[in-house]
Structure 1
Amino acid sequence: MAIVFLEKIKRQRYLTIVFLIVILITALVIWRAFFFKKKLPEEVISKPKIEIKIDFETLKNPALEEFQPIEKIVPLGPEIKIGRENPFVPY
C-alpha cells in the first residue's frame, strides 16, 4: 500500500511540474503577443517618385492608323431563346 501511495505522489509531482511548465509557456506566449510593443523603425527612407512620361507620338504612327474600330457586340434580345426551359429533363 505504501509503494502505491508513493507512486501516486511521484506521478502527481511530475504532472504538477508539467502543468506549471505549460502554464508558464502559455503566459509567455500571451505576454509576447499582446503586451510586447514592437519597436517602430526610426526613419523610413523612401525612394524618389518616378515621373511617368507618356509619348503620344507613337499613336500617330501610320501603322496604327490602318487599324479599324471593333464593331459593337449587340447583346442577345428577348426574341432569341437561349437553351431549354429545364435543361435537366432528358430528351
Structure 2
Amino acid sequence: MPIDFIQERKKQKYLTLIVIALFIIISVILWFGYFRKPESVSEEALVSSVKEIKIDFNVLENPFLQELQIFEKILPFEGEIGRDNPFLPY
C-alpha cells in the first residue's frame, strides 16, 4: 500500500508540472500572438512597397499559342429545366 501511495504522489507531481508548463506555454502564445498590439505601418511604407507592374504582351505572339484553337460557343439550354418542387418523390 505505501508503494502505491508514493507512486500516485509522483504521478500527481508530474501531472501538476505538466499542467503548469502547458499553462505557461499557452499564456506566452496568447500574449505574443493575440493580446499584443500590432505594429503600425506608415502609409508611405505601404505605398513605397508597391511596384509598377509591367506586362509583356510579346509572350502572346509565341507560335505555340498561335496553333491553339478557340472552342465553339456553348448556347444556353432551351428546354424545360427541372421540376416545380424537386423535393417531391417521383
Structure number with the higher helix fraction is 2
> Rg larger in 1 or in 2?
1
What band does the TM-score fall into relative to the shorter chain? 0.3 to 0.5
Normalising by the residue count of structure 1, what TM-score does the alignment of the two structures yield?
0.46
Normalising by the residue count of structure 2, what TM-score does the alignment of the two structures yield?
0.46
